[in-house]
Structure 1
Amino acid sequence: MPIKTILLHMANDDRHGARLQAAVGLAERFGAFVEVLYVATPVSMPAAVTGRGASYGYIAEATAIAHEKAEQIEHEVRQALKDCSYSWAVVEGDHVELLAERATYADLAIVTQSQGDSLDDRVVLHVPDRLPLETPCPTLVLPHDFAPDAAIGRHAVIAWKNTREAGRAVRNAMPFLQAAEKVTVLTIDPPGHTLDSGRDLMVWLERHGVRSHHQANIHQGGDVGEVILTCARDLDGDLLVMGAYGHSRLREMVLGGATRTVLGQLALPALMSH
């Protein structure tokens, strides 16, 4: 399916500009409409804020500040998207729930990687990069330190395993794959594996006009997510395509997993589908 509607998550945070620039570049590339959803509710609060009353007071104050900043950020959006079609809305509430409600009508959603695990002085209230769990719309998760002018999709790396989630991610990524200069199918197989686990996908991609290369790895132990990120870095990829949360949600939350590792240590944009 072509990308004709992009849902852009905006908030009063220090990474909204990088998301905006990514959306501009993709809207121009695909001729897409951008639906900008500015969520005024704070994503986190200082850990020093304790007690229900203090928490409510901080959230109310931070929300009011975000509303005051809305006009300034809307001006940034208007300038950046002046050559694109877009809409702008200001809402309050749970970031993931609000995004998921609108993502049903989008072809791609853009969020930023959460940094809650590394911010000891903050209490995380909302985790936007959980969006891939909540919607059929593919989600492009940008690294927290993503540079606004960085490329997305010049070299796409597909973390491939024959699962529903991975298959959906590849289909959703087809506009990126068809436009990429290089596509690599990355497989991570158990010891003793002798079959060419990337061949069938590569044949299917070829029929869609996508030439690809196979990077086969034998898993010698350790976290699969770390192996995926290391391979993507060594291959100089600038877009990771992968299925999200192949195990049950409870298993992923309690025991971790490749998706959780990738989201926690993300170093390149990741297009994820569940």
Structure 2
Amino acid sequence: MAFRRILVPLTGTAAGEAALATALMTARIWNSHIHCLHVRVDARDVAPLAGEGLSGAMIEEMMAATERESGERAGRVRALFERFVAHAGPITLADSAETANKADGVTISFESIPGREEDVVAQQARLYDLAVVPHPEADSDVSSSDALHAVLFDSGRPVLIAPLTPPATIGNRVCCAWNGTAESASAIDVSLPWLHHAQARQVLYSEDYQRRGPKVEGILAYLHWHGVDAEGKQFKPISKDVGAGLLAAARDFEADLICMGAYSHSRLRQLILGGVTRHVLENADIPVLMRR
């Protein structure tokens, strides 16, 4: 398996530029096609939210303002895309599979469509091998990252969260987090191409992270059956924070990619009490491959 089709939801932020750069690095490894998708706010969605007490003229004015702002934002995103392509090095614009298959090397395309971002991104991601999404902005709560959670919960596909700064490398030294859950098993499954590609591999585990399920010895044996020799490495929480301990262990290994399951506990519990997924999403400074 290889990641032949990569989806990048674009919003026009600096984090979006880093996501594009991360997607391009990934695409160069797998000789992939990158499809950049911008979802514009549909002005028709504003009317039901306007509520009672507003005249028709006021609602029309709100819809016109929304349409205007959405168009301006779409223009900024398109400009970001064009600047990126102009400076990306060898890359080919290709809007169809036929064109992409004839091209030599990485191909890229852009699309801007109206709709609800979380719905459109989740549905479109089902047609791609991987979605690369921007890191949650430093001034934005991770719970507000619609594209990220749409892919995690509703696409059935893996998501690669890009760091805020484009990485120097990706996939040379890979850490996989293991806690015995179905989510971590799913993440290991989708990480197999990366593990075969990597020069060094480590499976991180902890008594404080382990849930009901197979211990680390079981997943190491599973990987060996797939021709992947990995080292098991136990880590300890830092100040009782398992996520901080996990990231510290990845840094000690000099990892340039972390693979892990997402939200073994419910998302609501993690948003209220915190959790490993939440900590890693907010604090990782290297790419993180997640699957739920």
Question: Which contiguous aligned blocks of 4+ residues in structure 1 show a shift greater than 6 angstroms?
Answer: 52-58
C-alpha distance in 1 between matches for 2:144 and 2:65: 12
Residue segments in structure 1 that go unaligned for 5+ positions in a row: 42-51
- Describe the SS at the equivalent of 1:173: helix
Aligned residue runs from structure 1 range 45-194, under 5 A: 60-76=67-83, 78-79=85-86, 80=88, 81-82=91-92, 83-115=105-137, 118=139, 126-130=145-149, 131-144=151-164, 146-147=165-166, 150-190=168-208
Structure 1 residue 129, shift from structure 2 partner: 2.7
Structure of larger gyration radius:
2
> How far off is 1:93 after superposition?
3.5
244-253 or 57-66, larger mean C-alpha shift:
57-66
Aligned residues: 256
How many Å separate the matches in 2 of 1:269 and 1:125?
19
Taking structure 1 as reference, are residues 177 and 125 closer, same or farther at Cα in structure 2, changes over 3 Å only?
A: closer
Task: Specify which structure has the higher proportion of helix.
Answer: 2
Contact 1:190–1:220 (CA under 8 A) maintained in structure 2: no
Aligned partner of 2:248 among 223, 227, 230: 230
| Residue in structure 2 matched with residue 28 of structure 1 by the alignment | 28
Where does residue 46 of structure 1 map in the other structure?
none
Q: Is the 8 A contact 1:140 1:272 kept in 2?
A: yes
CA contact (8 A) 1:151 1:238 kept: yes
CA distance in 2, matches of 1:219, 1:55: 50
Structure 1 residues 105 and 207 mapped into 2: Cα distance closer, same or farther (>3 Å)?
A: same
Deviates more, 1:252-261 or 1:237-246: 252-261
1:205, distance to aligned residue in structure 2 (A):
1.2
- Deviation string, structure 1 residues 37-93 (Cα, Å, up to 9, x no partner): 12345xxxxxxxxxx999978755542222222442342354433242333210233
**Pairwise CA distance, 1:247:** 1.1
Cα deviations across residues 180-223 of structure 1 (Å, max 9, x unaligned)? 011101001149xxxx9322211211221212111113558612
Distance in 2 (CA, whole Å) between partners of 1:38 and 1:256 is 30
Computed over aligned residues only, the root mean square deviation of the Cα atoms, in angstroms, reads 3.0
SS at match of 2:202: strand
Deviation at 1:10, TM superposition (A): 1.6
Q: Scaled by the length of structure 1, what TM-score is found?
A: 0.82
Amino acid paired to 1:255:
L
* Aligned-partner SS, 2:13: coil
Q: Which residue of 2 aligns with 1:45?
A: none
Q: How far, CA to CA, are the matches of 2:116 and 2:254 in structure 1?
A: 35
Give the Cα separation in 2 of the matches to 1:75 and 1:150: 22
| Compared CA separation, residues 219 and 263, structure 1 to 2 (3 A) | closer
SS at match of 2:206: strand
TM-score by length of 2: 0.77
Cα gap change, 1:143 to 1:78, in 2 (>3 Å): closer
Question: Displacement, 1:109?
Answer: 0.4
Measured against aligned partners, the alpha-carbon deviations of 1:230-259 in whole angstroms (never above 9, x if no partner) come to: 211122111111000001232223222110
Percent identity over the alignment?
A: 26
What residue is the counterpart of 1:249 in the other structure? 267
